[in-house]
Structure 1
């Protein structure tokens, strides 16, 4: 049975993450996510980099992987910045059962803030300075609501317009983008997005339905399963 097999894979990996974290040192965190419970996807954790605990939520990156379903692929060696300024180098490896279904992920997060500072110092001493790069900020936390708010706020900032100034197609596109980022796979997300945008729950469902009915990829309509 798929659920039993998936549970067995998570159980087998849980003791392994302690060894990985111990091998890589105090700047390492290893996390197992169970996508079957996206609101509290962290089911095992070793080390501490992002400040989460067991029962915590996935980040924006995890939600994007969740949204890809069985088409998801590993995301390796990407660097983001936490909201408190840490630089984190991460790899996210999807977990599949024997049927190929994606049901979770094993994530390794390394705090490379100090390494980056040493690199910058050596560059200054040598007279070589690298151009500054803007890294995406990733929200890590135990509350999935904080992650959802961050995604909605970031999407609105890119449009440079408040919700009341958006035309209908712009509003539908906003919901389409949020849907592709996996936002509406989370229980209660429609209500939370509606509250964040200052609209009614019914209006949010209407825009989500329109976004899914006119998806640019031509995919079939999906049920509005979030509440």
Structure 2
């Protein structure tokens, strides 16, 4: 199925032009999920890692649904309209996705200018930042930083409740579905691998319905 979709990737990107990027993902390989890409909006490359959007899909498992026409923003400030269409095997299990990203930065600027000229401009809602990285380490780092909530906030400054909440948040975002994720998080926080596993285990014990079998968090 992935091979059959390669021409579709090129075709969609060619149809919508240089502001469009199409990415084909194999979610069975989170750290190198990109198997085909056409166009350049988020800087993806074949062999690159999945983004935090894909990690959220992993966290939801087979209950995940297509996410169409959502807006996000890259770390560089590019505003992107995206659609993530999931790929399922005959048993209904999610194994990949076809993602379309369109750079709408120029369009939104023109819209704001016309609104200002017409006197109808409104303050736009804040668009969330999404980390698109070709290595999974950068994606995990960004999610850890976001879970710490405040710039410069450190692990040492958190009490036990906040530490468990941090691990629970990372787990809900699919971080621990990635191979070596516990080691990456431990290194980022400056704690031991054993401590990271301990906090992850305790956070899951406090979360009913956590699917431990499908995630990495058991040493």
TM-score in terms of structure 1 length: 0.91
Query: Whole-Å Cα distance in 2 between the matches of residues 23 and 12 of structure 1?
Result: 18
2:193 counterpart of 1:201: yes
Stretches of structure 2 lacking an aligned partner (at least 5 in a row): none
Deviates more, 1:166-175 or 1:32-41: 166-175
Cα RMSD, aligned residues only? 1.8
From the superposition, tell whether residues 221 and 97 of structure 1 become closer, same or farther in structure 2 (CA, over 3 Å): closer
Query: Whole-Å Cα distance in 2 between the matches of residues 200 and 77 of structure 1?
Result: 41
Stretches of structure 1 lacking an aligned partner (at least 5 in a row): 1-8
Aligned length: 218
TM-score in terms of structure 2 length: 0.94
Q: 4+ runs of 1 displaced by more than 4 Å?
A: 158-161
Q: How far apart are residue 159 of structure 1 and its match?
A: 10
- Corresponding residue SS for 1:138: coil
Query: Whole-Å Cα distance in 2 between the matches of residues 146 and 219 of structure 1?
Result: 25
From the superposition, tell whether residues 126 and 175 of structure 1 become closer, same or farther in structure 2 (CA, over 3 Å): same
Query: Whole-Å Cα distance in 1 between the matches of residues 81 and 160 of structure 2?
Result: 38
The question of whether the paired residues in 2 share the 8 Å contact of 1:212 and 1:222 is answered with no
Counterpart for residue 28 of structure 1: 20
From the superposition, tell whether residues 213 and 222 of structure 1 become closer, same or farther in structure 2 (CA, over 3 Å): farther
From the superposition, tell whether residues 101 and 223 of structure 1 become closer, same or farther in structure 2 (CA, over 3 Å): closer
From the superposition, tell whether residues 222 and 78 of structure 1 become closer, same or farther in structure 2 (CA, over 3 Å): same
